[in-house]
Structure 1
Amino acid sequence: MKNITSIVLISTLSFNIACTSMKNTETPKDQIVDAALANNPFMKKSSLQYQAPEFDKIKDEHFKPAFDFGLKQNLAEIEKIANNTATPTFENTVLALEKSGEVLKRAQIVFYNLTGSNTNPTLQKIEEEYAPIFASHSDKIYLNSKIFNRIKDIKTEGLDSEDKRLIEVYKQRFELAGANLTDAQKEQMKAINAELATLSTQFTSKLLEARKKGAVLINDVKELDGLSADEIAAAATDAKNAG
């Protein structure tokens, strides 16, 4: 179980990275990288088919540096979009949002797939640390009135159906996130999102721990009728290891 903010965020990121891949974008070379990040696999697109993650190169220690770099990079991109004085267009607003945050997207998508399927104490600690940080970062985008107003002001004449649909998708995301709230309500929303992200992540960790410790004790092998001898032997071994 993931918190609501994380689900929305990762769903958004998955959609974004798919669209961005079709646009064949690259992480700007002038933003990559200091020596400490040079060998980080998240700093560039995977060379595998469909940009599948290169799991043979990805280590637990790669996530935090990629997150920190990606957050900083993405925030700079968002500020540039928000403060653009040019007339809002699909290219300089919506498409610019689509292309933003590539490093962060790559790292987050892999990270949350791992924590949802093959986590470990190191990843769990990182997840708890960054849950409120990611929630805050999402708020900086989707509660940004400047960007929301730019999206609403885009003229759709001459755009194809795909571009028009993407504009509508972004409008909906901003509205659902609370872009129409007052400034005071937005501050309240930010606090709620941060708390929800933290508590939900902690709950997920405790639930996983409870599952590890949980078991059904069987004293009569006849109750396992239908299982193979190998399955029963494996269960017995697991029971012995668990004490």
Structure 2
Amino acid sequence: MTPQELRLACRDGSFTTNTSGYCAGYVQANLVILPKSWADEFFVFAQQNPKPCPIIGFSKTPGEPVIRVGGKDVDIRSDLPQYRVWRDGELAGEPADVSDVWQDDFVTFLIGCSFSFEEALLADGLEIRNITEQVNVPMFNTNIACEPTERFYGNQVVSMRPFKAADAIRMIQICSRFPNVHGAPVHLGDPSLIGIEDIQKPDYGDAVTVNEGELPVFTACGVTPQAVIKQAKPPVCITHSPGCMLVTDIPNSKLAIF
């Protein structure tokens, strides 16, 4: 499928799974939608925390549901497989379409996703375990603090992919080319050092096999805003459901810095 075909499949309800491994070559984006009265401060929070919250685009006019920066005819209300709706910091639902909760003051942020650099890793011959096992990438809450603003604060969420040591080094080299989709990992090795008790029990997504001799490699994750939103408690917020991204028409090569 092309990105537009996948978005249309989301729109008509025929595509409902996670987007890892789909539409090779194109940027996938995490989603945060907030009322204008909260959006300006979130923008500052994201600028202060570029590893977990790298902004790749945002709506220019509050209430605008067509996000042209994402590609042709992107209706942000329907073109992801699944959303999360938050009210006062509590998860209120996970619909496939958010048209019925849309507000005229909403501002949309598209945030880089680690799914985008998976293509470069695969092209170099590295295995992506969650793609091999056809599951969602495992994601974990950590003790790595974000730089706070007045209302937005909390710890980073990370995604995890296991590699042998030599492959982990190569993974770091490749991911460093893509700072707008989280860039180089934030940690590798002992998960307890960043507050993760059991890598077979992810907070989001699915567990994957970690073979003997492999290192778990942890990358900053765009689910971080959801953890922060729980504490900030805006009256309403819309995000993607973990693993269910907006697949854009932006080539991954556009985000590589070398």
Normalised TM-score (structure 2): 0.26
Larger relative helix fraction: 1
Q: Which has the higher contact order (CA 8 A, sep 6+)?
A: 2
Larger Rg belongs to = 1
Normalised TM-score (structure 1): 0.27
